[in-house]
Amino acid sequence: MARTLRRAQRTARQRGGRVRVLARAGGIGDVLWAAAASDLAAKHSPQDVLLFLTQPDMLEAVRLASPDITVIAPHLPNPHMQSLLRRVCSDVVEMVYEPHDTAGTHLVRTYLKQLGCPQQMPHPAWHFKHEPLPRAASPVACIYTGPSWPVREVPSSVWDEVVRRLKSELGLRVLQIMPLRPTVRLIPGCDERIIGWPLADLCNLFDQSALVLTIDSIMLHLAAGTRAPLVAIFGPTLASCRMFETPRQRSLAATVDCAGCHHRTPRLHWETGCPYDIACMQQISADPIMTAASQVLAPAAR
């Protein structure tokens, strides 16, 4: 640690810049976009030397967003490490995302503002090795049903119908993306389960897929950074805070008054509880999902 800081200080002096420690812990999506903002900040101020502070299990996510940044990933909790770093570095920035303060603002723009960078900088693209996958008999659709917060999950009966129609109406081969220790239901009709793949391998898969269909989750963030044809389903969170919509990357949400409650004060839910029985997700049906899927579907798959 001390050697890393001394090297950074020496390089910053040679460039006529400063050493900045950028700190972000938490979930993969938070760290991924914070690292992306750090990567953009490094390009905006090349004279500075940036060090990224996070927890050890986030190294894979940081490398995906910013392969060249120096990462400090100690086993000390972030607040303790920040206190130590402030003794030798005057510029320690804790990147914080407060949903109720930034409703409608994408994560990366929130972090760029905190770093003093223009918020209209280019959309980040993840850094991964592009390797051709075995050619499938039919175009591939990747779906992610969870796990996530219960308030962000679509009813399983909807997924059953969506998978059936993706295959029968659009002629797609459907892969269900799952974590290393699956805790979600296997959707009938899926052709294959992708379990516990590294983040970079998932990006490579999405990049070559005809469609990615997901709830608000890490899979949304991964697909957004690959420019894959994407449909993301939202309820308590706002699409504008999670993705940049394009003709090939679209969001879908139920039209209920309480939608986006995650960004309100007071917040109506916290991951599990909802006074309206999660109406925003319960009202999602297969029809609008299929319409959106048809609209973004990669041209080769039509």
Alpha-carbon span 284 to 154, nearest angstrom = 7
Q: Which amino acid is it at 140?
A: V
| Predicted pLDDT at 160 | 98
Q: What is the pTM of this model?
A: 0.90
Residues of the chain with pLDDT under 70: 75-82, 84, 87-88, 90, 98-103, 268-270, 298-302
- C-alpha dihedral (129, 37, 253, 198), degrees to nearest 10: 30
Give residue 74's pLDDT. Answer: 77
Dihedral (C-alpha) 100, 213, 225, 252: value to the nearest 10 degrees?
-40
Per-residue pLDDT at 183: 84
Q: How far apart are CA 8 and CA 13, in angstroms?
A: 9
Question: 173-178 and 230-234: which strand pairing?
Answer: unpaired
Closest of 32, 218, 34 to residue 42, by C-alpha: 34
Question: In the CATH scheme, what is the code of domain 2-114?
Answer: 3.40.50
Q: How far is CA 202 from CA 9, 34, 92, 216, in A?
A: 36, 20, 32, 16
Q: Specify the pLDDT at position 103.
A: 59
Report the DSSP beta bridge partners of residue 186.
none
* Residue 6 confidence (pLDDT): 83
- Return the bridge partners of 49, or none: 19
Only one residue has tokens 């905190």, namely 114
Residues of the chain with CATH 3.40.50.2000: 140-301
- The CATH code belonging to domain 140-301 is 3.40.50.2000
